Amino acid sequence: MNPEANTNIKNLAKHLVQDTGSILLAPIGWKKEDWLKASAVVAGIMLLSTQDQNVKHFFQNNRSETTEKITWPLEKLGNGGSALALLGAGYVTSLAIKDPKLQNATLTAVEALAVAGVLTTIGKHVVHRQRPYTTDNQYLIHGPFKKSGNVSFPSGHTGSAFAIATVFAEAYKDSSIIPLLAYSAATLAGISRIHDNKHWVSDVAGGAVLGYLAGKFVSNRRLLTSKDSNVKVSPMLNFGRPGGVGATVTISLGKKKKK
């Protein structure tokens, strides 16, 4: 077992402070290859920004009542309040079924959500980028020294969604479907922000990177090493039938005691 794992709510606040400080100070100890990787990511996001207008116009030109109904619940996946409510439900479930792995994963996801929130908030107030519903100029950036209500880059919703997705993908990486479901949900949350005209596609990419980094960093420090879990998710494939693709969730209510 990892002695520094998130095993109860009491040590969560301490770990949050420690890990937030560590990830913010991490660049001080970066080596040449680390800076090269970071530069490549930044260059990729800048290259993607050249398509911001095209992507915006595609989504807005195809926006409809149907797409509104589809994206409304997807947006909630990256909403901080909704995410905390879901993680809280997961934590209560973990206590009810006595599953330490799920308990650890939900607590670690809460921490990753908070760390991602710090990273994206800092980014927003350093960049001060104009949101797409206010302009067609994706390069309208005010910078850190001008107060502005425009905080488009990076996407906080996407950062939150990817932070949580990364924790569960890492916690259940032995599963054939949980990582896929987690990252798919996070990607859809990001797409919903483009559809709603709240973010450019490069904002979403930036949020996804920061969310992934937060989730990966916290997971490496706080997840249990045990693979035991009372929750199993398996793919369900019945091609040619209605609703033939999905997943089944099996919950074991603890191990039976030996007589």
Task: Assess if residue 51 is contained within a domain.
Answer: yes
Task: Assess if residue 249 is contained within a domain.
Answer: no
Task: Assess if residue 57 is contained within a domain.
Answer: yes
Task: Assess if residue 80 is contained within a domain.
Answer: yes
Task: Assess if residue 75 is contained within a domain.
Answer: yes
The set of long-range contacts for 230-233, using a CB threshold of 8 Å and a minimum separation of 24, is 230/97, 230/98, 230/99, 230/101, 230/102, 230/254, 231/97, 231/99, 231/101, 231/102, 232/175, 233/172, 233/175, 233/177, 233/178, 233/181
CA distance 187 to 196: 14
Task: Assess if residue 137 is contained within a domain.
Answer: yes
* 42-44-45-46 Cα dihedral, nearest 10 degrees: 80
**How far is residue 147 CA from its own chain's centroid?**
28
What's the domain range around 202? 9-229
pLDDT reading at 150 higher than 70: yes
Q: What is the pLDDT of residues 94-108, one digit of tens each?
A: 999 999 999 999 999
Q: What is the pLDDT of residues 111-148, one digit of tens each?
A: 999 999 999 999 999 999 999 999 999 999 998 877 77
Domain count, the chain: 1
What pairs with residue 141 in β-bridges? 129
Task: Assess if residue 246 is contained within a domain.
Answer: no
| CATH, residue 18 | 1.10.606.20
pLDDT reading at 238 higher than 70: no
Task: Assess if residue 248 is contained within a domain.
Answer: no
User: Taking the model in full, what pTM does it have?
Assistant: 0.86
